[in-house]
Every structure is written in structure tokens, then in C-alpha cells.
Amino acid sequence: MKKHDNLIAGQWVSHGNYQENRNPSDISDVIGLYSYGDAAAVDDAVAAAREALPAWAAATPQARHDVLEKTGRTLAERAEEIGRLLSREEGKTLAEGIGETMRAAQVFKFFAGEALRQAGELTPSVRPEIDVEITREPVGVVGLITPWNFPIAIPAWKTAPALAYGNCVVLKPADLTPGCAHVIAEILQESGCPDGVFNLVMGRGSTVGEAIVTHPGVDAVSFTGSAATGQHIAETCGRLRKKVQLEMGGKNPMVVLDDADLPTAVSGCLNGTFFSTGQRCTASSRLIVTEGIHDAFVEELAKQMLALKVGDALDPATQIGPVVDGKQLQSNLDYVELARQEAHEVIGGERLSLGKQGFYQAPALFLGTSNDMRINREEIFGPCGSIIKASGYEEALAVANDTEFGLSAGICTTSLKAARDFRRRAEAGMVMVNLPTAGVDYHVPFGGRKASSFGPREQGRYAAEFYTTVKTSYVFAG
């Protein structure tokens, strides 16, 4: 069985403690052994990053561009093979795994371009004979802590801007999915990334993650994961005065109005609620449907949901892969049990065996629910959606906004007036019209409001807000 080590100062370093990475489609399939680091490994990684920082921060835009462009190109060339690894370790379908790898490739290429496009501002002072120059500098050493549900795209969309803007990185991927992050480390190294600029330390959040967040040599932390862990990291970073960026959960509403095109609404909700096994922070978990279309919509969505093929992620016929692990599956099943008490009716949601040792669950639809129920307030993170009936647009909008989260919000309608109003009044960082709430572009800002996000936006040019710090210089030319 192949052993995978951590990358520190350009060397592959074993910290012993090899942990098995198993395939959630069939846990008898061991993907590899991954060496889990500890606080001492984080010390070494941070020291390497700090040593590499002055040269990388001063590197030419061309040098940074070339590393990122080659990394993106290699990811794209190897998308099939890496997508397969992704599907084996996370459980996404092969098409989704390859698609996510391509997205990571595009992210690296986008930020290769951004490395060349950095600019400042020159402006006259309010005083005579003085010029004012505004420039951006790297933040320093950045700690990146990533979740299991997008095991290559999220490490990519944190690492690529960090490096493009001249920072050095220590990345800790999720315990369940170290393989894709290891591939990014391998490719960055093959692409000429200088020693110490990018460091990988695999391991548990409670040890490696905590050590990164509390390390005095780490200047900023970017995290994606649960709201509880995010809150803890924000409190620690606040105390230590570190820059912090958090992407956390969602309880995303999709409003379906009477005038919606039924096939568009059903296919958008099917995708947004159940694809990627519902394991997306942007998943549509609350489907808010107005009275006139309610029955036809529910009938068609339930029919299409029941026809979805759940199975091994690598089987080309599979539409819904397994849940990521036994703990997440049990949590989903507990929510289905809760829905049996709270909702009027539950369709699907049962555990499936499929003759394999995998974590399979049938997609679930909860009918006749209200927005105050726990199933509609807490993030489930599984293939489950609730139907909430609304009397009309205004009530649907109020229900959509009545949540502690604010990541993505969608509406299906043929009314330009309603779509326009929803775009303005939805309390979310991203709004979708006649599109699923999940599935975003790689070149524009990503993030939300309220409990979903904290700090500057990720992705696109807006990523510069987090990964740089602004300097204002005054020059007296008299």
C-alpha cells in the first residue's frame, strides 16, 4: 500500500502515524496510507514558509504566474485520473469528480493571470508636492484549513490566490480526504514552486488544525467547514489578532412561484438538493413552493427523485454517490427520523445496502413542513430536501430570509418583476434565477452573509481582499 508523506520545505517528510484513506462506496477499498502530522510538524512547516516568504513575496509576477499556470495545466491534463481519485475518496460521481478537478485547474489558471494583473494606485495628495501611492502586499504566511466535500476545488481556490499574491502556505486538508490535497502538493512541486512556499501537513483538526490557527508564525487563516468549528477559529484568531476568512454552512432556499416553468424548476431543485449527495454548503435544502404550483411540482420532483440511481461513485450509471462516511450517514438518518416526527410525510431517506460495504442513502423529500421545524433550521448536509408551502411571493421571500444562514438563494419564475425583486431583497451572498442554488463559477466572488461567512469573499478578483494587505505611501517631491 502506497504511503503518502507531508510536504515541508520542499521535502516529503514522514511523521509516521499512517492512516488509511478508505472509499465510501466500498470501505474494503483502501486508497492509500497518509502520514498524520502533529504540532511539531506544523512548527516545521511554518518555519519553512517563513523562510521562503521574503523571496516569494519579491518574486516577479512572471515567476508566480508560471508556477500557477503549469499547475493548472497539469491538473487539466490529469483530470480523468485525479477525478477518479476524488470520487474514490469523497464519493462524488465520476463526472462530478472530473468536473471538480477541471474547476481546480481553471482556478489555478485564473490566478496565474491575476499574478500578472496586480496594480496599485497613484493619486495626488490633498497637500501640495506630495504623491500618494496605494499598493497591495502579501499578508504573509497563510494557514488553509479545508473540508472534505470539495477536496480539490476548495484547496485550489484558497492556495492559488494565496500564492498569486505572494504569500506562503501551510495547508491542512480534511481528515477524510487527504489524497486530492496531496496531489496538489505533488503538482505544485513538479511545477517549480520553490521550497517552503507551499507546505502540506495532513492530520486531525484538533491537533494540526489547532496548531495552525494558534501558531504565532501564521498571519492569516482561511477556513471552510462547519459553523461550530468556524466560530471557534474566529474567536481564536480574534484573540490573536490574525486575519480570518470563514466559509461555513447554509440552509439555502429555492423559491418556486406559480408562474415557474415546471421542468426548469424541477430539474434545478433535483440538482441543487440531491446532486453531490446533498453535501454542498450551497445545496437547496428548503424548497419554498407557492400554492398554485405546489402539487404538480411535488409530484414531479418526487417522481424524478425516486428515479435517481444511487450507487458506487465510479459506476458511470450512478447519479448519486454514497455519503462521505458512517458518521455523516448516521447524522442524515437521524434527521430523516426527526422529519418523520416533524413533517407531514417523508418520501425516501432510508439506508441502502446495494450489496456493497458503502454508506448509501436514498434521497429524501420531506413534505408538509414549516420553516420553524429543526429540519428547516439546521444544516443536514445530506441528500434531503424539505417542501414548505407559501401563499404567494411575499410570504415565500419572508420564509427564504428567515434563517440564520445567508449563502445562496434561488427563485424559479418567469416573472422579470419577481426575479428582479428577489435579487434585491434576498439576504444571501449569491442569488440564482432559474438555476440551482449550488454550482458556481470559478472567476467571481463566492461567499455569504449572516452565519454562512465571515471576512472578505473568496474567489475571483475579490480574493485579493483577504490575501493582501494595503499600504499607503506618501512621497514629498518638492
Ligand X SMILES: NC(=O)C1=CN([C@@H]2O[C@H](COP(=O)(O)OP(=O)(O)OC[C@H]3O[C@@H](n4cnc5c(N)ncnc54)[C@H](OP(=O)(O)O)[C@@H]3O)[C@@H](O)[C@H]2O)C=CC1
The smaller minimum CB distance to ligand AKG, of residues 179 and 410, is found at 410
Min. distance of Cβ 59 from ligand AKG in angstroms? 29
The entry of ligand AKG, ligand X, none near residue 381 (CB within 5 to 8 angstroms by kind) is: ligand X
Question: What is d(CA 6, CA 170) in angstroms, rounded to the nearest whole number?
Answer: 11
What are the backbone angles phi and psi of residue 185, rounded to the nearest 5°?
-60, -45
281-310 footprint of ligand AKG as x/- string (CB under 6 A): xx----------------------------
In which residue are the cell numbers 508560471 written? 66
Instruction: Extract the C-alpha cell encoding 188.
Output: 505544485
The entry of ligand X, ligand AKG, none near residue 439 (CB within 5 to 8 angstroms by kind) is: ligand AKG
Contact between residue 301 and residue 264 where contact means Cβ atoms under 8 Å apart: no
- 247 part of the active site: yes
Q: Which of 90, 100, 247, 300 is catalytic?
A: 247
The smaller minimum CB distance to ligand X, of residues 213 and 260, is found at 213
Contact between residue 52 and residue 198 where contact means Cβ atoms under 8 Å apart: no
The entry of ligand AKG, ligand X, none near residue 282 (CB within 5 to 8 angstroms by kind) is: ligand AKG
Determine the size of the site formed for ligand X (CB under 6 A): 27
The smaller minimum CB distance to ligand AKG, of residues 188 and 281, is found at 281
Q: Which stretch binds ligand X (CB under 6 A): 81-89, 140-148, 303-311, 313-321?
A: 140-148
Cα torsion 206, 212, 214, 215: sign: positive
The entry of ligand X, ligand AKG, none near residue 438 (CB within 5 to 8 angstroms by kind) is: ligand AKG
Q: Which of residues 206, 330, 472, 473 is near ligand X by CB under 6 A?
A: 206
The smaller minimum CB distance to ligand AKG, of residues 185 and 281, is found at 281
Min. distance of Cβ 144 from ligand X in angstroms? 10
User: Which segments within 166-309 are labelled E, that is strand?
Assistant: 168-172, 198-200, 220-224, 243-247, 252-256, 284-290
Min. distance of Cβ 324 from ligand X in angstroms? 8
Contact between residue 259 and residue 328 where contact means Cβ atoms under 8 Å apart: no
Angle between helices 153-164 and 94-116 (to 10 degrees): 10
Instruction: Extract the C-alpha cell encoding 238.
Output: 480574534
- Hey, which residues between 153 and 172 contact ligand X (CB under 6 A)? 172
Q: Is position 432 an interface residue for ligand AKG (rule: CB under 6 A)?
A: no
Q: Is position 405 an interface residue for ligand AKG (rule: CB under 6 A)?
A: no
Angle between helices 153-164 and 178-190 (to 10 degrees): 30
Min. distance of Cβ 275 from ligand AKG in angstroms? 10
3-state SS of 42-106 is HHHHHHHHHHHHHHHHCCCHHHHHHHHHHHHHHHHHCHHHHHHHHHHHHCCCHHHHHHHHHHHHH
The entry of ligand X, ligand AKG, none near residue 465 (CB within 5 to 8 angstroms by kind) is: none
| Active site residues per annotation | 247
